[in-house]
Amino acid sequence: MSLTSDDLKQIADLTLDHYNKRADDFWEGTKGHDVSQNINALLQYMEGERPFTILDFGCGPGRDLKTFTDLGHMAIGLEGSAKFAAMAREQGYEIMEQDFLKLKLPDSRFDGVFANASLFHVPGQELPRVLRELHATLKPGGVLFSSNPHGNNDEGWNRGRYGAYHDLETWREFMHGAGFIELMNYFRPEGLPREQQPWLATLWRKPGGSR
């Protein structure tokens, strides 16, 4: 079934409202999460002169912006939730407050895009366009990291949020269709049986440049 413009607006509005109403609880519940494996995975594939300019796509209240900044990089957040964006700005970070479905990104600006637990909120119908926009905002040779809850290519509402849950092969098709080259993939949390690893992490490069 095709989603209409009204459907897409409702998906964005209700999902962002869910986060806005729970922003403080979300921050308390996630600020201590260890995502160093994901951050290190992105950085290990980035090439060129440091510091890197990194877009934290769906930055939330700013946990990972702090990590990238502490490592010496220029980290800029993109966030659709007004409450999250305000919380991140209060910590001194530059934030682009944008709906994922209405992006306005600069061309060839970023060395890396860190999309940790964010792109699964994009309906499959709109995902090819959004991935092309992220491809365009990367510099040639830039790297995109994504981590999403995986599933059987179903999507819909889940406890007040809209989500799309792709398997690895389908996710590859989306990423290859947007022009990315696969670098690696893994499931999280590490060290557990696959049935206890709900997160699929993948890394991709935009072709070109001197890399």
Domain ranges of the chain: 5-205
Confidence of residue 1 (pLDDT cuts 50, 70, 90): low
What pLDDT score does 84 carry? 97
C-beta separation of 59 from 78 below 8 A:
yes
Which segments of 92-210 are extended strands (E)?
95-97, 110-116, 138-149, 154-158, 161-165, 181-188, 199-205
Find the Cα–Cα–Cα–Cα dihedral 125, 155, 142, 70, rounded to 10°: 140
Percent of all residues in the chain with a pLDDT value above 70, rounded to a whole number: 98
Percent of all residues in the chain with a pLDDT value above 90, rounded to a whole number: 91
Residues 129-134: contacts with CB under 8 Å, at least 24 apart = 130/100, 130/101, 130/103, 131/174, 131/175, 131/177, 131/178, 131/180, 132/178, 132/179, 133/103, 133/105, 134/57, 134/105, 134/178
Question: What does pLDDT average to over the chain?
Answer: 96
Q: Whole-model pTM?
A: 0.96
pLDDT in tens, 165-182: 999 999 999 999 999 999
- What are the backbone dihedrals phi and psi of residue 63, each rounded to the nearest 5 degrees, phi first? -55, -50
Confidence of residue 206 (pLDDT cuts 50, 70, 90): very high
Q: Does domain 5-205 have CATH number 3.40.50.150?
A: yes
Question: What angle do the packed helices 5-21 and 23-30 form, to 10 degrees?
Answer: 70
pLDDT in tens, 144-167: 999 999 999 999 999 999 999 999
What pLDDT score does 210 carry? 58
pLDDT in tens, 15-57: 999 999 999 998 888 888 889 999 999 999 999 999 999 999 9
Q: Is the Cα dihedral 171, 158, 67, 55 positive or negative?
A: positive
Max Cα-Cα span within the chain: 46
What pLDDT score does 34 carry? 87
DSSP code at position 196 = G
Confidence of residue 211 (pLDDT cuts 50, 70, 90): very low
What pLDDT score does 138 carry? 98
